[in-house]
A and B are shown apart, each in its own frame.
Chain A
Amino acid sequence: MSGPREIFVRISRCTGCKTCEIACAVEHSASKNLFAAVSERPTPKTRVYVEGVLPDKRVPVLCRHCDDAPCMHACISGAIRRTAEGVVLTDTDKCIGCWTCVMVCPYGVIGRHLETHRSYRCDRCPGREIPACVSSCPTDALIYKTVGSFSDDVRKHVAEEMIAAKEE
């Protein structure tokens, strides 16, 4: 499948274990090592958030790198741009910590780093073949695919379920 890959969430598979949060923070640390990362300053931050919806339902939320990214257009310092791969990136050198992006992100997935006074969000792990959250997820609730192949999978999955239901 062509087109850039994206991180998809299969909500039904998430158990809320938060392994992805830890993997993300470690990947965005200087040492890339859990034990060293814990005491690093600035504190490494996760950019994926496992949120509780119902007592038994958990949902990992993270930057969608929107086609029409409101944060990018709203940024008053020109710090947010889209890469050729479709990733919406915040340039921390240009960010001034005015939090306009936080104000306009409908997903609530842009964080404020208090020590560096900069905003941060998912950068899809540049330099990794598969983002850290995806490769760490023990239940495959997070997957990394192109839009086309994800929807093909979903269609196949639904079709299988329909066949199974018929056979029951």
Chain B
Amino acid sequence: MQMDSVKYLIIGGSAAGMAAAQTIRQQDAYGSIAVLSAEADMPYFRPMIPYVVTGKKSAKDIMLSGNGPYVATGIQILTSARADSVNADSKTVSINNTWRMSYDKVLFATGSSPYIPPEIQGTDTNGVFALRTLADARGMAARAEITDHAVMLGGGLLNLKAAFALLARGVKVTLVVYSPEVLSQLMEPEDAGLIRIALDRAGLKIKTGLAAEGILSDKKGVSGIALSDGSELPCKMVCIGKGVRPSTAFLSNSGIELDRGVVVDRHTACNIPDAFSAGDAAVTFDPVTGQRITTGLWTNAVEMGRCAGYNITGKRTAYAGTFGIMNATQVADEPFVSMGIVHTKGTDYEVHASASGATYRKMVFSPDGNRLVGMTLIGDIAGAGMYRYVIRENMPVKEIKSLIISKKLHYGHFM
């Protein structure tokens, strides 16, 4: 079996892996860096793939290399190269069951993959998607050509983005959500009112409190979907958005400690020397609650990947953790930010919520009222980053609390 060797081996060529590669190159100008990617495409900005579904952007438009901070050179990227297993003792990785690579240091940045609920029948039918990769986006774009109606299962942010991509192509879209409201991971149903109005206005049909039983098909693929209330909806496409799970199966017999994701210490290091992990694949922690969490956030993957890059090159750097919830986006014409602790029903967090016609603002403080711990902003998200700073630094808010609540805080107050 062929055996290559490299100083820094990065498994997974996306946010975490490429941010790490960039940082390693800054710290070590000459050490060899190889990035393995199971995908056939060169690294790209994953959150941009809905634009490939709509056709507003091409694959080339969303490539990572040369854009934003990704300007380092001398990084070897191997596409269609999947790591099958890792031998942490001999420090080697088996690739595509055909060759091996040995390394000095390794980073597991294999991200996450869509969770496909096994109880739904027929998820392997042609026309069923879970939008995660550029290849999925191309597939959806092609299927959209023959689709008049698509059904989305799950009301999370990714599925909403996929839904809007299809709406933009003129496809009729029905969103089927098991929870009582969309975006239930990111905000409480009572807080989602403005978002719901915007979705309705944009022409998205939403059915809540329903699950899918099975996907119906004919010889051209998906032909409809059977729902838990006994009804059937004809459709040519089904898109599953039921969350993601860390992609760590290849590490199962490696001795690397796993707990949903790859367990790392505060310095992004695994339980075995010279091995590190970052991004969706890794278990990180919430800076407010201290709890172990896995995330599905580009922002976290980049930050943690950069941190790992420093640690791998010997510059010991602690990771500050991330909120499990930290999303900014625009759905339909409604911008929103949700961050930190936002599910407060039945808890004793101190909540200050205010609504005007077009905006909603909920600021969540610790039960003793001394710390800001989370927020949901809809319509007006100005200055959101300042609040993030206040939350993350665990700042006592005493003097600035009334400014936070009344939306009068600005950076001048810190100067």
Task: Across the interface, name the chain A residue whose C-beta is closest to B51.
Answer: A96
> Is B410 a contact partner of A77 (Cβ separation < 8 A)?
no
> Could you say which residues of chain B place their CB within 8 Å of the CB of A147?
none
- Count of A-B residue pairs with CB < 8 Å: 117
Q: How far, in angstroms, from A80 to B70 measured CA to CA in the complex?
A: 10
> Is B411 a contact partner of A103 (Cβ separation < 8 A)?
no
Number of A interface residues at 8 Å Cβ cutoff, please give it.
Answer: 39
> Is A102 a contact partner of B70 (Cβ separation < 8 A)?
no
Q: Shortest beta-carbon distance, A72 to chain B, in Å?
A: 5
> Is B337 a contact partner of A81 (Cβ separation < 8 A)?
no
Q: How far, in angstroms, from A82 to B71 measured CA to CA in the complex?
A: 10
Which residues between 1 and 26 of chain A lie within 8 Å of chain B, taking CB atoms?
11
Q: How far, in angstroms, from A163 to B330 measured CA to CA in the complex?
A: 56
> Is B388 a contact partner of A106 (Cβ separation < 8 A)?
yes
B19 interface hit (Cβ, 8 Å) = yes
Q: How far, in angstroms, from A94 to B70 measured CA to CA in the complex?
A: 15
> Is A102 a contact partner of B382 (Cβ separation < 8 A)?
yes
> Is A99 a contact partner of B329 (Cβ separation < 8 A)?
yes
Q: Mark A18-42, 1 if CB is under 8 A from B, else 0.
A: 0000000000000000000000000
Q: How far, in angstroms, from A70 to B106 measured CA to CA in the complex?
A: 26
Task: Across the interface, name the chain A residue whose C-beta is closest to B300.
Answer: A74
| CB contact between B337 and one of A58, A75, A77, A103 (< 8 Å): that residue | A103
- B-binding segment of A49-57, A125-133, A138-146: A49-57
B346 interface hit (Cβ, 8 Å) = no
Given contacts A78-B70, A102-B328, A103-B326, contact A51 B335 (CB under 8 A): no
> Could you say which residues of chain A place their CB within 8 Å of the CB of B382?
102, 108, 111-112
> Could you say which residues of chain A place their CB within 8 Å of the CB of B383?
108
Which residues between 27 and 86 of chain B lie within 8 Å of chain A, taking CB atoms?
45, 47-48, 51, 62, 64, 67-71
> Is A97 a contact partner of B330 (Cβ separation < 8 A)?
yes
> Is A11 a contact partner of B299 (Cβ separation < 8 A)?
no
> Is B330 a contact partner of A99 (Cβ separation < 8 A)?
yes
> Could you say which residues of chain B place their CB within 8 Å of the CB of A74?
298-299, 302-303
Given contacts A59-B412, A108-B383, contact A100 B299 (CB under 8 A): yes
> Is A112 a contact partner of B335 (Cβ separation < 8 A)?
yes
A137 interface hit (Cβ, 8 Å) = no
A155 interface hit (Cβ, 8 Å) = no
| CB contact between A78 and one of B68, B329, B330, B411 (< 8 Å): that residue | B68
> Could you say which residues of chain B place their CB within 8 Å of the CB of A73?
19, 68-69, 299, 302-303, 306
> Could you say which residues of chain A place their CB within 8 Å of the CB of B385?
70, 102-108, 110
Q: Shortest beta-carbon distance, B147 to chain A, in Å?
A: 24
Q: How far, in angstroms, from A122 to B94 measured CA to CA in the complex?
A: 49
Q: Mark B164-175, 1 if CB is under 8 A from A, else 0.
A: 000000000000
Q: Shortest beta-carbon distance, A76 to chain B, in Å?
A: 4
> Is A76 a contact partner of B45 (Cβ separation < 8 A)?
yes
Q: Shortest beta-carbon distance, A106 to chain B, in Å?
A: 4
Q: Can you list 14 residue pairs at the A/B interface with Cβ under 8 Å?
A: A49-B410, A57-B412, A61-B411, A61-B412, A72-B68, A76-B48, A76-B298, A77-B48, A77-B62, A78-B70, A81-B68, A98-B330, A99-B381, A104-B388
Partner-B contacts on A (CB < 8 A): 11, 49, 51-53, 57-59, 61, 70, 72-82, 94, 96-100, 102-112, 117
